Amino acid sequence: MSEKPWNGRFQEKTNVAVEAFTSSIEIDKRLFTQDINGSIAHCRMLAKAKIIDKSEAESLVKGLTEIREKIEKEEFQFDDSLEDIHMHIEDALTQRIPESARKLHTARSRNDQVALDTKLYLKEITEQVIKRLKDLRQAIVNFAEKHLDTVMPGYTHLQRAQPVLLAHHLMVYYEMFSRDAKRFEDGLKRLDENPLGSAALAGTTYPIDREYTTRLLHFSKMTANSMDAVSDRDFILEFLSSASICMVHFSRISEELIIWSSSEFDFIELSDAFATGSSIMPQKKNPDVPEIVRGKAGRVFGSLMTVLTIMKSLPLAYNRDMQEDKPPLFDAADTLISCIDIYVRMLPEILVKKENMLSAASKGFLNATDMADYLVGKGVPFRDAHACVGKAVSYALGENKELHELSLDELKTFSGMISGDIFECLTVENMINRRMSDGGTARENVKTAVSAARKELGKE
């Protein structure tokens, strides 16, 4: 292997233990494509600015392309003594074309190089996440459309509250993941700035053309401050923040699928292809996929906290601490994408037990609020109506009956305003369809929401 780039200053060789300790190659070697693309753009800019000859630039581009192909074919050897992907590629290039390769690092530093590589990587990942979230939202809309007539109990405090359509419940997650997509889209705007040319921290004395590399690398603009460019990791923090919020949503839907698939709820059954069994209990069918997704949320949260802690109190500009930003970033990105992909596959295979959902929505006094609303319609103040219905519920509990199972004479003992038309208000179907307020669970509302979501997805 070649000597270290800084050997001119040092009298002793780097201790092998230090080489192993400071090496990041096992992590950042996945940035080889971005590193080579950045080097090619830098090389072409150097030639355009007449800092190197055009012929040298052509040979450098050819050499870099060959190195990329060798890495892609897994024929490239990595070594701790070269620390990172930047030095590996530079060393391989130097072995091919020694004189020209020694000029490639003119007007740049590993500081702006690593910022560039990470931004190029994160741009690609963010775009992938946005696309995959669209696939997930499409799967949710498809699921919801199949269940525009499926009634289930809605919950607060994990207690049955009011009946809703399953489609309405599912569309909650469409809204959550739509907000996630918008967060990633918004972060992409701030991420889309080219740091190349900032060098170590102060810029460079060479007549470089940063606008040119910005165009070559498909950034929308270049960074405005060289010190900020090499020390900024806000774009990583923002991605991890968005990923963490997204994983909160995955954890919530996972929790619900786990609960719904339990014997106590028995609302759904996961496909055998997306469940596992027990090593000791033959009867078990475990919701392992949503459980693992729920657990993976902690990994992504941990990645965010790791990078927040790394960046806390770092003085300007670049510090080697920042090498530790990539393991949590890569892990969080991989984790998020794997969770999206598995859900896109799993959701269409879920069996919904409609009868069990409807039965649950028909018990537990879910029509109590509707009885109070009925009394309000008769001129009773809401607080008085609330108290009246509370007494009726207490009585019905003692009789082991639901409100709609009480006789008209029994109901009249709680209010003289009650007449025979009350029973229409207490049916599950009417309870749902009367909730026509914007965003409510009435079937026409939910049908319109599903249709609007389809149009929105079609425009993206």
Catalytic residues, by residue number, are 157, 278
Alpha-carbon span 169 to 357, nearest angstrom: 12
Tokens of 459: 């425009």
Alpha carbon distance 126, 242 (integer Å): 10
Q: How many residues does the chain have?
A: 460
SS3 of 268, please? strand
DSSP state string for 305-372: HHHHHHHTTPPSS--GGGGGGHHHHHHHHHHHHHHHHHHHHHGGGPEE-HHHHHHHHTSSSTTHHHHH
- Closest C-alpha to 85, from 36, 124, 42, 119: 36
CA distances from 300 to 214, 247, 303, 358 (A): 31, 7, 5, 37
Q: What is the dihedral of CA 40, 45, 46, 48, to 10 degrees?
A: 130
**CA distance linking residue 79 with residue 69, whole number of Å:** 18
The answer to whether residues 340 and 132 touch, using CB atoms and an 8 Å cutoff, is: yes
Task: Give the whole-angstrom CA distance, residue 95 versus residue 79.
Answer: 15
DSSP secondary structure, 374-405, as one string: HHHHTT--HHHHHHHHHHHHHHHHHHT--GGG
152 beta partners: 164
Tokens of 98: 């020694």
> Would you say the C-alpha torsion 192, 196, 202, 207 has a positive or negative sign?
negative
What is the CA 158 to chain-centroid distance, rounded?
Answer: 26
Whole-number Å distance between alpha carbons of 311 and 309: 5
Check whether the bond before 199 is cis (ω within 30° of 0): no
Tokens of 10: 């040092």
The string of DSSP codes covering 63-111 is: HHHHHHHHHHTT-----GGG-SHHHHHHHHHHHHSHHHHTTTTTT--HH
Q: Report d(CA 17, CA 386) in Å as an integer.
A: 73
Contact of 165 with 147, CB cutoff 8 Å: yes
Q: Contact 86/250 with Cβ under 8 angstroms?
A: no
